Amino acid sequence: MSAPRSRAASGLPPVTASAVVDAAARLTVRSGVDGWTVRQLAAELGVGAPVVYHHVGDRDRVVAAVVGRVLASVPVPDRGLPWREWFTALLTDLRRVALHHPGVARRALAVGPVAPESASAVGAGIEVLVAAGFGDEAVGICRYLVDSALALVSVEDDRNADPGRRVRQAEAVIGSADGEGGLALAGDWLRARGSDPNTLRAYDAEHFRYCLARSLDGAQARLTTLRRRRR
């Protein structure tokens, strides 16, 4: 029996740590960050599982690398933008990129978005806030804004994973929202938008923009307080 041919002899590219993370990111797009195994990752690469462990490590290390890769792909806005516009641009792009990789937002929220791959964006955000006048609170405000965005995306991931359940819940609210009061208003709100899953998903973008604007309003109010204290 002849020995198996090497990847190079077979015309295949060599397996590197970057190639492992690339493959894991592809699986994450298709199945979510929790939807694949190391064995499936190895199959995606056409190698055995020990190759994955050799180049990157266990599954947790691979997932951490994917999260870092995804966060690093978020465009960093122009430093010349006013701080509110800067964070609106950053976090809107963060939502877009993270939704394309289900589960990454929740992982990033759990461990914090500061990773070597995303350090430049986080550092830039803190510097933008310092320049705006937040001073020593710039780090806390930056984390507040980023964490708020990641939490919203995490909820979207959960909703997108089971759109049928979301439609059933919307229909239940509509069906029970008779009379007056807050529940009736919620029912009227849903009736106006419908319970179609695509309509509800489109509302998530609207809701994200609303919550982001209110988070920025809160940061603006804090900035006003800080400025008054310095007078």
Q: Which domain CATH number covers 201?
A: 1.10.357
Same domain, 56 and 145: no
Same domain, 23 and 99: no
Quick check: is 191 in a domain? no
CA atoms within 13 A on the CB side of 121: 25
Report the distance separating Cα 131 and Cα 128, nearest Å: 5
For residue 199, what pLDDT is reported?
A: 76
Quick check: is 173 in a domain? no
In this prediction, residue 29 has a pLDDT band, given cuts at 50, 70 and 90, of: very high
Specify whether the CB–CB gap between 219 and 125 falls below 8 A.
no
Same domain, 90 and 202: yes
Quick check: is 176 in a domain? no
For residue 4, what pLDDT is reported?
A: 44
| Domain C-terminal end among 70, 88, 105 | 70
Dihedral angle of Cα 180, 183, 187, 189, to the nearest 10 degrees: 100
Same domain, 131 and 89: yes
Provide the CATH number for the domain around residue 28: 1.10.10.60
Dihedral angle of Cα 213, 215, 221, 226, to the nearest 10 degrees: -130
Structural domain of 41: 17-70
pLDDT mean across residues, the chain:
87
pTM: 0.84
Quick check: is 120 in a domain? yes
For residue 189, what pLDDT is reported?
A: 66
Quick check: is 34 in a domain? yes
Same domain, 32 and 91: no
Same domain, 150 and 210: yes
More confident residue, 52 or 171: 52
Quick check: is 131 in a domain? yes
Same domain, 114 and 147: yes
More confident residue, 163 or 173: 163
Our measurement of the distance from residue 147's CA atom to the centroid of its chain's CA atoms, rounded to an integer in Å, reads 10
